[in-house]
């Protein structure tokens, strides 16, 4: 009996609580449970059971509960932090801030606080080199082998960053992590973005351009926000293209439905939630926490219902996503098509508008390129010839495409990283000279990659479209002569639309839009900045909200003589 008594006495809080904390840590490390039920069990009920078992060792049950709960949570947190900072962690060799090594919550905080996560990671690369640890189990890499090793056909599947794309109807195309399932789901998109489908979309671009030019002519000689009008164009076109739906932004001169503001608010939440996707189930318990996403969902469903009621009068994107030609063995649900349809509106409308806004900012800041580009457009389309009638010619215009590429290089429309994951059982992955262990996320942040002097030099942070042109010698913006062999333009790591089997399905449509809008505006109007201060602060106001939030760019348009 005395031996049993001694054994029971040994089972006090000094032994049991640390042992329980260590056991729960191992459960989290191995299985990564994230549901609210598992959190209640492991973080609430387990220490509660210890209180019931050990309360007799304390002067009161209240004191027992306080000491055991605090000790349990503190020990669990200490074990987590100690391991993540220890030399035994698989990523211990890679540099990075202590706060990033401890928790991805720090980057979520940076992203949510001011939309400057892309600048934060860029600064880390400037201080630490081409591999930086930005999370306990995540690396940001700018090495030249990234596109083939990570995004290529034998690359890596998407990481948990994309889990926030889950909807009640299912996962949107851009959130699908399984490569095989993604390939199946992408088939209707491929048909919807084929060269045959492009013929109809080009007609829509011409019509939408007509609305843009006509509306701008009504507002000449007065300040207008060219960035806002790029948004009107992007969303009006995508409404026609995706659903044969007219949002009427160009004709009305404003966003009557409040669509753009709604998308911005929803995207702002995604910017930080995507870094810690495990928190999403908990946010659903907050009243009104998902109201913007709920409104977007309702808008998408209503748009689908309106399109079905309209009938298949045009071979728009909905026609292909709904598989109205009967190519697939099983037709998708209306709810799932609504999810992908809203993806098309956001990805197509907002990102194109962002790039066009950045482009006109650069052309106004560097008027030499404005004049050079206008000269190329005038030579390609002599006076009286409508540039929107020849998209093929636009695609072969060197400086036009160089200016667009340089804009996409400096400010890819999605400033966040393309996250991939080395899954358990893969045996790790070599990216250049770096071994990436299993269960590690790899982020390719285009903003950092495109500004790495190893890939784009000289003037990696400067708008210099000439780097995209084939020349025997180059003239820098300051007037210096640069030999061709001193210019590095690594097109292999140019990833504004991602690359590989999960690359952007609408890349060709987006580029056609950008070229045609640029040619139409420069053909029809003289463009002058209304207030120089907006040029001076444009880049400071850029925020990463999963997509890009930008400021205003007031210009004065006048009809070309």
Residue spans of alpha helices (H) in 326-397:
334-344, 351-365, 367-380, 391-395
C-alpha to C-alpha distances, 401 to 49, 152, 220, 396, nearest whole angstrom: 66, 24, 27, 8
- Known binding-site residues equal 504
**Strands annotated E in 89-164:** 131-135, 138-141
Residue 128, CB-side half-sphere exposure with 13 Å CA sphere: 20
Annotated binding site for heme: 504
Nearest to 241 by CA among 192, 287, 284: 192
Cα distances (Å, whole numbers) of residue 151 to 142, 155, 442, 444 = 13, 5, 11, 9
Pairing label, strands 473-475, 481-483: antiparallel
412-444 as b/e: b if 16+ CB within 10 A:
bbbbbbbbbbbeeeeeebebeebebeebbbbbb
| Contact status, residue 473 vs residue 444, Cβ threshold 8 Å | no
| CA angle at 223 for the pair 221 and 229, rounded to the nearest 5° | 105
Task: Report helix, strand or coil for 309.
Answer: helix
Angle in degrees, 0-180, between the axes of helices 291-310 and 334-344, rounded to the nearest 10: 110
């Amino acid at each position: 009996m005395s031996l049993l008594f001694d054994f029971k006495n040994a089972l006090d809080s000094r032994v049991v609580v640390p042992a329980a904390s260590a056991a729960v840590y191992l459960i989290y490390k191995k299985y990564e449970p994230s549901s609210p039920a598992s959190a209640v069990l492991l973080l609430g009920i387990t220490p509660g059971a210890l209180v019931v078992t050990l309360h007799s060792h304390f002067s009161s049950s209240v004191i027992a509960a306080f000491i055991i709960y605090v000790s349990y949570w503190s020990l669990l947190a200490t074990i987590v932090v100690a391991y993540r900072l220890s030399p035994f962690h698989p990523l211990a060799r890679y540099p990075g801030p202590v706060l990033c090594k401890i928790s991805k919550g720090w980057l979520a905080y940076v992203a949510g606080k001011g939309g400057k996560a892309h600048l934060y990671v860029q600064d880390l690369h400037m201080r630490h080199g081409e591999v930086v640890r930005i999370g306990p189990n995540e690396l940001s890499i700018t090495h030249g082998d990234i596109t083939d090793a990570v995004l290529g056909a034998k690359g890596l599947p998407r990481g948990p960053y994309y889990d926030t794309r889950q909807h009640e109807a299912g996962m949107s195309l851009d959130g699908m992590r399984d490569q095989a399932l993604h390939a199946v789901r992408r088939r209707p998109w491929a048909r919807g973005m084929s060269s045959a489908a492009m013929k109809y979309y080009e007609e829509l671009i011409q019509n939408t351009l007509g609305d843009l030019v006509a509306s701008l002519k009504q507002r000449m000689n007065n300040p207008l926000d060219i960035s806002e009008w790029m948004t009107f164009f992007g969303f009006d076109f995508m409404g026609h293209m995706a659903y044969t739906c007219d949002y009427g932004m160009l004709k009305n001169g404003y966003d009557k439905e409040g669509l753009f503001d709604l998308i911005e608010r929803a995207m702002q939440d995604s910017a930080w939630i995507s870094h810690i996707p495990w928190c999403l189930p908990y946010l659903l318990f907050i009243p009104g926490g998902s109201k913007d996403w709920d409104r977007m969902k309702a808008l998408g469903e209503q748009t689908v219902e309106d399109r079905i009621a309209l009938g298949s009068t045009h071979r728009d994107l909905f026609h292909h996503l709904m598989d109205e030609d009967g190519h697939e063995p099983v037709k998708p649900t209306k709810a799932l098509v609504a999810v992908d349809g809203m993806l098309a509106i956001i990805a197509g409308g907002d990102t194109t508008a962002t790039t066009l806004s950045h482009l006109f900012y650069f052309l106004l800041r560097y008027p030499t390129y404005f004049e050079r580009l206008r000269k190329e457009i005038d030579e390609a389309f002599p006076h009286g010839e409508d540039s929107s009638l020849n998209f093929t010619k636009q695609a072969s215009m060197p400086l036009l495409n160089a200016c667009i590429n340089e804009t996409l290089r400096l400010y890819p429309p999605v400033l966040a990283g393309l996250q991939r994951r080395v899954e358990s059982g893969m045996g790790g992955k070599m990216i250049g000279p770096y071994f990436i262990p299993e269960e590690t996320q790899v982020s390719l942040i285009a903003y950092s990659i495109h500004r790495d002097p190893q890939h784009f030099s000289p003037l990696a942070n400067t708008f210099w479209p000439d780097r995209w042109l084939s020349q025997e010698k180059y003239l820098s913006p300051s007037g210096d002569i640069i030999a061709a062999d001193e210019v590095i333009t690594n097109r292999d790591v140019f990833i504004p639309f991602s690359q590989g089997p999960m690359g952007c399905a609408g890349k060709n449509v987006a580029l056609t839009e950008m070229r045609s809008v640029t040619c139409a505006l420069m053909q029809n109007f003289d463009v002058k900045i209304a207030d120089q201060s907006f040029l001076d602060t444009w880049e400071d106001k850029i925020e990463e909200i999963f997509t890009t939030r930008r400021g205003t760019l007031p210009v004065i348009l006048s009809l070309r003589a």
